[in-house]
Amino acid sequence: MKVLMTCDAVGGVWQYASDLAGALMGQGVEVVLVVLGPFDEARHPGLEPGSSVVPSDELGNEVPRSGRAWMPAQGRHDGIQLIRTNLPLDWLATGPDDVLNAGRAIAALAADHRVDLVHLNAPALAAGGPFPAPVVAVAHGCVGTWFAATDGSAPPAELAWHRQLMLAGLLAADAVIAPSASYAAAVQRHYDLPATPVTVHNGRALAMAPSGASADHVFTAGRLWDRAKNASLLDAVAARLPAPLRAAGPVTGPHGESIAPEHLHLVGTLDVDALAGEYAAGPIFVSAARFEPFGLAVLEAAQAGCPLILSDIDTFRELWTGAALFVGGDDPTAWVAAIERVRADPGLRAHLGEAARTRAARYTVEAMAAGTLAIYRALLAEPVRAAA
């Protein structure tokens, strides 16, 4: 089986795609990984495809059409063919034509590489078909559900095209996956889909053990500029804590979003090894997110045995009930009380850390790959629909 998979190098989808591609390779699947959007060499030093480039028929940009075998910096697997492109991400695009053209370019790449299946990590791209093979679309997040969860409102009128393309892509895909049942239900409701996306929980290929003594600080990680991550609340919490609240992640976003915390101890955007070091110290991990389709940072912290204190949202309840403390609302006092309760009780801290580690064992890359591969095989067992 040969699969073309899209991803981006901006957020968690990169980690998802690289972990999944590696696990699929171990099951005999040949993967062509197509990278969209901006690319930071400093953050991904293992990606050196050395590929030739040719003019793109679709966008007029230079788009790599072939690359040598690639091994990620983590060294977990090799043999993945990497194609880095200049194609825009749907959530960074300035209008629908950019996304439709990107979808057409990916369809052309799929035809060039004679793949058996196309795995799109941005469902809106499916609206740019037809594709020469069945399409699996994974809903990792979208503009519409972000606004609904973060602001309780619809996106502004100038972003209405996002909803139209997302709906068109979801309906065009042969199968739709979501990383949690909670987000699958949210997508089904928001777009009034005839069927709920299939849930395949994300997994993460980390296995870190904490050091001896637990660090006497609190830690969070994510896109701090993203209002859905609620860093402003954590900044207010940090002002009332006797221990530092360390925060990893960017404070400026691609559309000019920014946050200037006064009390969080900013540690910058960390690579995989640096994050592993943070988690290995066993800090109390907090996430006050209002919107989270899955939450890879929470999983990474849990794998390391960090005690978890999380916002009381459906996704976190689904994944971590019985393995975390939950805090509802945006009252800093409630968050400080929960953190101080864990800091003051070594037994509770140890219990939460072990519970988190045990629960994290459910969310493995192997389980993610098995669930995804079952969907691939079910689609390929069915007659391939004719291209329109």
Query: Which of these ranges, 67-71, 159-163, 355-359, has the smallest mean pLDDT?
Result: 67-71
- Helix ranges, 66-180 (H): 96-112, 143-150, 160-172
pTM of the model as a whole: 0.86
More confident residue, 87 or 145: 145
For 218-264, how does the pLDDT look when each residue is reduced to its tens digit (9 = 90+)? 999 999 999 999 999 999 999 999 999 999 999 987 777 888 999 99
Q: Which distant-in-sequence residues (6+ apart) come within 8 Å of 45 by Cβ?
A: 73
Provide the percentage of residues in the chain whose pLDDT is more than 70: 85
Long-range contacts of 90-99 (CB under 8 A, 24+ apart): 90/122, 90/124, 90/125, 90/162, 90/165, 90/166, 91/122, 91/142, 91/143, 91/162, 92/37, 92/38, 92/254, 92/255, 95/161, 96/161, 96/164, 96/165, 99/124, 99/125, 99/127, 99/128, 99/165
- Which DSSP helix (H) or strand (E) runs through 119? strand 117-120
Task: Please give the structure tokens belonging to residue 91.
Answer: 């959530």
pLDDT at 136 over 70: yes
Q: What does the angle CA 79 – CA 178 – CA 164 come to, to the nearest 5 degrees?
A: 105
Q: Which amino acid is at 316?
A: F
SS3 string, 280-324, reads: HCCCEEEECCCCCCCCHHHHHHHHCCCCEEEECCHHHHHHHCCCC
Q: Which bin fits 310, alpha (ψ -120 to 50), beta or left (φ > 0)?
A: beta
Report the distance separating Cα 238 and Cα 246, nearest Å.
9
Give me the pLDDT at residue 388, please: 41
Task: Please give the structure tokens belonging to residue 62.
Answer: 């230079």
Give me the pLDDT at residue 387, please: 43
Q: Is 89 helix (H, G, I), strand (E, B) or coil?
A: coil
More confident residue, 273 or 255: 273
Give me the pLDDT at residue 72, please: 35
Q: Which bin fits 325, alpha (ψ -120 to 50), beta or left (φ > 0)?
A: beta
User: How large is the average pLDDT for residues 338-349?
Assistant: 96
Provide the percentage of residues in the chain whose pLDDT is more than 90: 66
User: How large is the average pLDDT for residues 133-158?
Assistant: 91
Query: Which of these ranges, 20-24, 85-89, 168-172, 366-370, has the smallest mean pLDDT?
Result: 85-89
Report the distance separating Cα 285 and Cα 290, nearest Å.
16
pLDDT at 272 over 90: no
Are 193 and 308 contacting, i.e. CB atoms less than 8 angstroms apart? no
User: How large is the average pLDDT for residues 268-296?
Assistant: 92
**What are the φ and ψ backbone dihedral angles of 355, each rounded to 5 degrees?**
-65, -40
pLDDT at 65 over 80: no
Task: Identify the band that residue 211 occupies on the pLDDT scale cut at 50, 70 and 90.
Answer: low
Are 335 and 286 contacting, i.e. CB atoms less than 8 angstroms apart? yes
**Which among 43, 53, 48, 51 is positioned nearest to 14, based on CA atoms?**
43
Percentage helix, strand, coil for the chain under 3-state DSSP, each rounded to 5: 40, 15, 45
pLDDT at 205 over 50: yes
User: How large is the average pLDDT for residues 80-101?
Assistant: 86
Q: Which amino acid is at 137?
A: A
Report the distance separating Cα 86 and Cα 69, nearest Å.
20
CA 290 to mean position of chain CA atoms: 15
Q: Which residues on adjacent β-strands are paired with residue 316?
A: none
Are 131 and 118 contacting, i.e. CB atoms less than 8 angstroms apart? yes
In 10 A of CB 207, how many CB atoms?
11
Strand intervals (E) in 25-79:
30-36, 53-55, 62-64, 69-70
Give me the pLDDT at residue 44, please: 46
Compute CA distances 60 → 55, 102, 382, whole Å: 6, 11, 36
